[in-house]
């Protein structure tokens, strides 16, 4: 085999991929990890407060970078490039990355997470619509901005909390009758004097040509009402990130990868971990646990088939 052959090819550098890499190398596997953002979606978490071991919380970016360093120190090889497609040929998984390098491996762990959805409105791509408050919120600092967060869950609540420190006013808008976030987070939002919660309110359009000038909403009292906002931060759902997969695998109706109780997909030797996989909880803790288990069962799979050199 050439130098680009590994026991396991891990796709994704979020908590699932990084934990799979850490466990994989510690079990003696030759591990390659493709991905470009150390920590994946954790860079959007201002303060990770529900992961044990960090009383008072840890910044999501710091958590991601440290997990990355830990896997690297233990011997995982990172390409720092994205995978363009994953195929299977002659019993091996074959990946080509954005640097036009080709890698092969006897097994693979898909840990590519999920991508935020946009609203289905006329000018959905107008400038001023964002997905990450930590990344893009600072654009509005010092601009007397009114910002709208659209969504209902903990992710939406986190965005609103982050933006409350930057904007004059933050509107948290959800078409749900009641917000679906933790009670503790909702209480913290209510304590902020510049956050307004607007449940039962659906955003039906954006206003502005080229640059966002406002949102149009409907609620039980009015069919159409314009609200001036300078920026929108979306937290309205997710789409699993599986488009690189050029092998056929079973998925749920929403496109999440189906796995057995050893995290193997319907394709032998192809495992899935973290948010890309069908689950009832999409959190850092679950992604890490998935990564560890996927690496363990991947090692077992390789051992049983005498794939380890
Ligand atoms: C705003 C916000 C707040 C959150 N707050 C919390 C919280 O407080 N507590 C908590 O536990 N969870 C929280 N979460 C959820 C948590 O971030 C996710 O559950 C977790 O990051 C999932 O990890 P993952 O490794 O499965 O996927 P991700 O973190 O999404 O990582 C996937 C990785 O795959 C990479 N990738 C994708 N395609 C390719 C490709 N073709 N080639 C190479 N790499 C690729 C991506 O770049 C990314 O690095 C929050 C999420 C958001 C958005």
pLDDT tens by residue, 213-244: 999 999 999 999 999 999 999 999 999 999 99
Which residues contact ligand 1 via a Cβ below 6 A? 11-17, 34-37, 40-42, 44-45, 48, 50, 82-83, 111-113, 154-155, 158-159, 241, 244, 274-275, 282-285, 287
CA distances from 280 to 14, 18, 275 (A): 18, 21, 10
pLDDT in the model for residue 71? 95
- Give the pTM: 0.85
Which atom number of ligand 1 is nearest to the Cα of residue 84?
41
Sheet holding 169-173, edge to edge: 129-130, 231-235, 146-151, 169-173, 195-198
pLDDT in the model for residue 1? 42
Summarize the confidence of residues 126-143 as an average pLDDT: 90
Which atom number of ligand 1 is nearest to the Cα of residue 45?
3
Cα–Cα distance between 245 and 146 in angstroms, integer? Answer: 40
pLDDT in the model for residue 54? 94
Which atom number of ligand 1 is nearest to the Cα of residue 49?
8
Confirm if 94 and 257 have CB atoms less than 8 A apart. Answer: no
Confirm if 133 and 44 have CB atoms less than 8 A apart. Answer: yes
Summarize the confidence of residues 273-282 as an average pLDDT: 94
CA atoms within 13 A on the CB side of 44: 23
pLDDT in the model for residue 242? 97
Written as six digits, the tokens of 184 are 């503790």
Confirm if 42 and 50 have CB atoms less than 8 A apart. Answer: no
pLDDT tens by residue, 281-290: 889 999 999 9
Cα–Cα distance between 276 and 1 in angstroms, integer? Answer: 30
Query: Which domains does the chain possess?
Result: 5-115+238-304 (3.50.50.60), 118-235 (3.50.50.60)
């Amino acid at each position: 085999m050439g130098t680009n052959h590994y026991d396991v090819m891990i796709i994704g550098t979020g908590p699932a991929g990084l934990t799979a890499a850490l466990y994989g190398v510690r079990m003696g596997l030759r591990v390659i990890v493709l991905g470009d953002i150390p920590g994946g979606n954790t860079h959007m978490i201002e303060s990770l407060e529900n992961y044990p071991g960090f009383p008072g919380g840890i910044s999501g970016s710091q958590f991601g970078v440290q997990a990355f360093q830990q896997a690297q120190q233990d011997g995982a090889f990172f390409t720092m490039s994205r995978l363009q497609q994953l195929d299977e040929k002659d019993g091996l998984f074959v990946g080509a990355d954005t640097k036009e390098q080709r890698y092969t491996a006897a097994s693979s762990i898909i840990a590519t997470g999920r991508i935020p959805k946009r609203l289905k409105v006329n000018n959905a791509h107008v400038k001023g619509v964002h997905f990450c408050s930590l990344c893009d919120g600072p654009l509005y600092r010092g601009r007397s901005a009114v910002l709208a967060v659209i969504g209902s869950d903990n992710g939406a609540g986190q965005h609103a909390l982050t933006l409350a420190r930057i904007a004059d006013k933050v509107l948290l808008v959800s078409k749900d009758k009641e917000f679906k976030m933790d009670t503790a987070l909702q209480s913290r939002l209510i304590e902020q004097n510049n956050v307004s919660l607007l449940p039962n309110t659906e955003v039906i359009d954006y206003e502005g040509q080229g640059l966002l000038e406002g949102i149009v909403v409907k609620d039980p009292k009015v069919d159409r009402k314009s609200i001036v906002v300078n920026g929108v931060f979306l937290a309205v759902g997710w789409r699993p990130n599986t488009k690189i997969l050029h092998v056929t695998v079973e998925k749920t109706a929403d496109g999440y990868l189906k796995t057995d109780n050893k995290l193997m997909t319907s394709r032998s030797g192809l495992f899935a971990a973290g948010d890309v996989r069908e689950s009832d909880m999409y959190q850092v803790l679950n992604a890490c646990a998935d990564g560890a288990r996927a690496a363990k069962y991947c090692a077992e799979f390789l051992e049983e088939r005498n794939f380890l050199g």
